Structure 1
Amino acid sequence: MTAKVEIYTWTTCPFCIRAKNLLLNKGIDFLEYNIDGDEVARNKMAQRANGKRSVPQIFINDDHIGGCDDMYALERQSKLDALLTGNKV
């Protein structure tokens, strides 16, 4: 089973690009919400992300995992692949 991955991004955000590249390199499909200048979408993201308004904000199976640095930390801890295959860490 593959996890449902959602990522809120801005087009020119280097952290967003880095996060998406990690997912793409792993062959993971994800749903991207580009929120460039869209305050309504940003507010919706912040509600889901416990008030965080920075991008990217990443969700795996509707669980908020945080931003780019958080996802890379999971990767370094060898925990990301388990999440991406639908397993809990």
Structure 2
Amino acid sequence: MAKVVIYTSAWCPFCIRAKQLLGNKGVAFEEISVDGRADVRNAMSQKAGRTSVPQIWIDQTHVGGCDDLYALERAGRLDALLQG
């Protein structure tokens, strides 16, 4: 199984949706909260090239945000990425 990392904020509805999709698939993930942590948000932004959350990585692949994750699911490509 691939390693999944998701940067989130507690009140972000897109973060909640992304975590629900991963949870429904039985995927364990490392969640990193950016709430009140400018250094963590800055590091995420540098790594992702984006400032919004969620930002999701599957192994070394930057998936993007919630919409990107759901697009992979609709295209039938998410499960293959999760298998590693």
**TM-score under structure 1 normalisation?**
0.92
1:63 CA drift (Å): 1.4
Q: Aligned match of 1:63 in 61, 64, 68? A: 61
Number of matched pairs: 84
The percent of aligned pairs where both chains have the same amino acid is 62
1:27 aligns with 2:34: no
More helix as a share of residues: 2
2:74 is aligned to 76
1:47 CA drift (Å): 1.3
**Aligned-partner SS, 1:27:** coil
Cα distance between partner residues in 2 of 1:30 and 1:77 = 21
1:53 CA drift (Å): 0.5
User: What is the CA RMSD across the aligned residues, in angstroms?
Assistant: 0.6
**TM-score under structure 2 normalisation?**
0.97
CA deviations on 1:13-54 (whole Å, 9 max, x unpaired) are: 0000000000000000000001102110001101110x2000
> What residue identity is the alignment partner of 1:7?
I
Structure 2 runs not aligned, ≥5 long: none
Q: Any runs of at least 4 consecutive aligned residues in structure 1 with deviations exceeding 6 A, and if so which?
A: none
Cα distance between partner residues in 2 of 1:62 and 1:40 = 21
> What residue identity is the alignment partner of 1:76?
R
1:62 CA drift (Å): 2.1
Structure 1 runs not aligned, ≥5 long: none
